[in-house]
Amino acid sequence: MEKQFAVIGNPIKHSLSPAMHNAGYETLGINAEYQRFRVEEHCLEEAVKGLRALGFAGWNVTLPHKEAIVSFMDTLTPEAEKAGAVNTVKNQNGRLIGHNTDGKGFVRSVENDLRGLKGKKAVLLGAGGASKGIAMALAQQGMNLHILNRNPEKAKTLVQIIHSVGGTATFGEFEPGDWLENLDLLVQTTSVGLNKEPFPFSLEGIDKEALVVDIIFNPLETSFLREAKKLGCRTQNGLEMLLYQGALAWEFWLGEQAPLDAMRQALKNQLF
Ligand code: ATR
């Protein structure tokens, strides 16, 4: 019988997940279909009941439902519990398991390039929802974090949360500083660049050995990444995080490895 998967969110029209997963099913000859559904906030509980009633085997959850859906799950994995958010649901004979692959997806996307993360230094720009998921996952891998946010109170709160789970983190002003001179990983998690606007400060003087990541994938190259590349750093756009969070969801649902190359190609085809 054909397995049904989906992604729910609002807006959802431009989600790249259906193309990525459907390309994967086709490559491996898996009898499955992945759809997208726009779900308004006040309809979330009904939508979850509907997906369960229709026998959907699993679904991804995106903005604005990642936190609200937690209360409709029968159980949570430790990843979802720690994040306080669910991006992947598995329907196990009517029992809904909430999971979160965002943080580990990010870790997988950078760990090969950095040849291990433990004891290395990461600077995160931004302290919103996306930053929190990434920060928690990197702290859990033993990275030392420095978090900069336009509103420093939010960076301070995130640092306190990281300390409360035994991680190492400090925070500072959202501006250039000594932090540029010695770091292994720089992650841009703010929404600056989504509308092609320039990043507010220069990375002049950055450690050329650093891997610089922007989690934005549309546009594929933000002004932030362009500058980092010009200054001699290795760069990575948001497509890799999207790919690996999807691949981990795939593995959680199907219990087998996802076809990464086919899924990456499908994502690129959608964007070009
Ligand atoms: P997300 O889930 O994508 O992280 P969010 O929780 O709304 O979304 O967080 C948005 C992040 O982008 C925040 O860190 C925000 O900084 P503030 O906390 O100071 O608002 C950051 N951000 C958005 N626009 C920005 C701008 N023009 N300059 C600097 N930071 C900006």
**What's the CATH code of the domain at 138?**
3.40.50.720
Q: Could you tell me if 116 and 228 lie in one domain?
A: yes
pLDDT at 1: 86
- CA proximity to 206, closest of 232, 188, 226, 225: 232
Under a CB-based contact definition with an 8 Å cutoff, are residues 121 and 183 in contact? Answer: yes
Q: Could you tell me if 177 and 144 lie in one domain?
A: yes
Q: Could you tell me if 73 and 135 lie in one domain?
A: no
- CATH code (residue 74): 3.40.50.10860
Q: Which residues of the chain have pLDDT under 50?
A: none
Q: Could you tell me if 129 and 154 lie in one domain?
A: yes
Q: How many whole angstroms from 126 Cα to the centroid of ligand 1?
A: 6
Q: Could you tell me if 67 and 45 lie in one domain?
A: yes
Q: How many whole angstroms from 28 Cα to the centroid of ligand 1?
A: 39
Q: Could you tell me if 120 and 228 lie in one domain?
A: yes
Q: Could you tell me if 217 and 166 lie in one domain?
A: yes
Closest atom, ligand 1, to C-alpha of 130: 4
- C-alpha 136/C-alpha 159 separation (Å) is 10
pLDDT at 82: 87
- C-alpha 55/C-alpha 50 separation (Å) is 9
* 75-76/95-99 β-pairing: parallel
Strand partners, 235: 212
> How many domains is the chain partitioned into structurally?
2
> Going by CA atoms, what residue is nearest to atom 13 of ligand 1?
128
Is residue 66 flagged as an active site residue? yes
| ipTM (interface pTM) | 0.97
Q: Which domain holds residue 54?
A: 3-100+240-271
**Helix (H) or strand (E) segment spanning residue 38:** strand 32-38
pTM for this model (two decimals): 0.94
Q: Could you tell me if 245 and 233 lie in one domain?
A: no
Under a CB-based contact definition with an 8 Å cutoff, are residues 179 and 124 in contact? Answer: no
pLDDT in tens, 207-257: 999 999 999 999 999 999 999 999 999 999 999 999 999 999 999 999 999
